[in-house]
Amino acid sequence: MKDTHGGNIWQAARQAGVDPAAIIDFSANINPFGPPSGVIEAIKNSINVIPPYPDPDCVEIKAALAAHHGVDPDEVLAGNGSTQFIYLIPQVFNPPVSKTALIIEPAFSEYKTSLKLYGCGVESLVLREGEGFELDVTRLERELRKGHRLLYIANPANPTGALIKKSRMFEVAGLCEKLGVTLALDEAFMDFCEEESFKGSVKIFRNMLIVRSMTKFFAMAGLRLGYVIANRDVIKRLSGHLPPWSVNSLAAVAGCHALKDRAFMEDTRKRIREERAAFGAMLDSTGAVKTYPSAANFLMARVTAQGFTGPLIKAELLKKGILVRDLSAAAGLGPQYLRFAVRNKEENSVLVDALALTASNGSRSRFTASNLA
């Protein structure tokens, strides 16, 4: 199975020989509590918006996003999920071949895929486990001085869950401005720790764009709604390359409705913090894995059970209808690493029990190539 990122329950179900509805998906980091109350009803009540073309200017959803984040509407650009912007950035800011992009790794695989698709040179700065996957600004400056013109950072990082505090981001953004580097800051998981968002600095740093998503926190992956927050000049450059009607009408309706539900946001943050802590403690207690601190709705873990690897554990769990994320291909990690989305208490317990059983009953000799076919 191609494992570039999570969420492909369709392929996993075919591999396991079960109905997709039978898969408990820990590979995709989507709010387990579903979208805000009333979003589905709002979509049902808006079926009349399907026949006409969507608003090409996305006026209502831009206004709602701007109000939610405390920025101006012309500092927001909405699109078909955050991934659309990840593929748009190299088109707009593609440096010459001699000036490459730098990705802070481990990272979302689509950064590198999109850059290479548009002919951009790519290099990586791999963060170290022994340093808690923290970004060292001095080390970053040494790398940027080699001539990079684009810098990709995810905050919180995916898949490690590590958070760069706002004070450290000021150092990074200032460094990029000094060296003439465009900073692409992916805050797809920042809704879970909104107080650390760097969105308030778009008026200060004019060489920066922040990519956000309504997929994870608001549980609307199927509707595809993402956006960029940046200064007006950057927004104008990006909008000139954005395909028309990138936001469908029902996605805009759902987004506007979701952004009104403050109680949902506060409740989600509280419940995810609680479930993440409990889930991490349970995972560690199995003796199969060791988890790492996370500011997002997922936990990265290193396999500690003797004779096991991430792919082996993934294959065994899939037999039980549980899909997890194998991080074998992630820079700086490898086959001993997995990622688990935080789901509800009952589902988390199902995974923990299955993992503990796998570790206690299995040994590497039990697995053959046929197990992974």
Q: Which amino acid is at 68?
A: H
Residue 211, beta-bridge partner list: 186, 228
Q: Residue 55: its pLDDT value, please?
A: 95
Q: Is the pLDDT of residue 373 over 90?
A: no
Lowest pLDDT segment from 92-96, 202-206, 254-258? 92-96
Q: Residue 366: its pLDDT value, please?
A: 45
Q: Is the pLDDT of residue 109 over 50?
A: yes
Quote the tokens at residue 93.
């800011």
Domains and CATH numbers, the chain: 9-34+263-372 (3.90.1150.10), 39-260 (3.40.640.10)
Quote the tokens at residue 292.
């790492």
pLDDT (tens digit per residue) in 6-25 = 557 667 767 766 666 778 99
pLDDT above 70 coverage of the chain, percent: 91
Lowest pLDDT segment from 148-152, 336-340, 363-367? 363-367
In the structure, what pLDDT confidence band is assigned to residue 2 with cuts at 50, 70 and 90?
A: very low
For the chain, give the mean pLDDT: 91
HSE at residue 249, side-chain half, CA atoms within 13 A, is 13
Q: Residue 364: its pLDDT value, please?
A: 41
pLDDT (tens digit per residue) in 179-231 = 999 999 999 999 999 999 999 999 999 999 999 999 999 999 999 999 999 99
Q: Residue 13: its pLDDT value, please?
A: 65
Distance CA 202, CA 190 (A): 16
Q: What is the mean pLDDT of residues 99-116?
A: 93
- What does residue 214 show for φ and ψ, rounded to 5 degrees? -105, 10
Q: What is the mean pLDDT of residues 313-330?
A: 93
- Rounded to 10 degrees, the C-alpha dihedral 196/197/200/204 comes to 100
The DSSP-derived string for 219-253 is T-GGG--EEEEE-HHHHHHHHTTSPTT-S-HHHHH
Q: Which amino acid is at 114?
A: S
